[in-house]
Structure 1
């Protein structure tokens, strides 16, 4: 899920977003030949964007 729209600065940790991404892919039954549906692809793309933001935030926090 994307960060809270009421508080755009509140991002979920990358590990949590990664768990959601793994769960999305696992929902395909584990068969790499099964493609995501159009709706799942939208969710996946949002998760990728959220994960990237979380990783960047981790890097900035560590600096």
Structure 2
């Protein structure tokens, strides 16, 4: 049976930053540093894959330096 793949959901930098509780400036820096992949979609500015943003949310027990 063939697998179906959903198209990725892209969100703007401001929305991605809001999800993570960071500033838009930090989100742009993370894109520049390669921590998050940015995509330029036509005339819609830079977007990021929402699934990639959600992967950055880590439970506290797995965060580095937290016991």
User: Would the TM-score normalized by the shorter structure come out above 0.5?
Assistant: no
Compute the TM-score of the two structures, normalised by the length of structure 2.
0.28
Query: Which structure: greater helix fraction?
Result: 1
Q: Which has the higher contact order (CA 8 A, sep 6+)?
A: 1
Larger Rg: 2
Query: Which structure: greater strand fraction?
Result: 2
Compute the TM-score of the two structures, normalised by the length of structure 1.
0.29
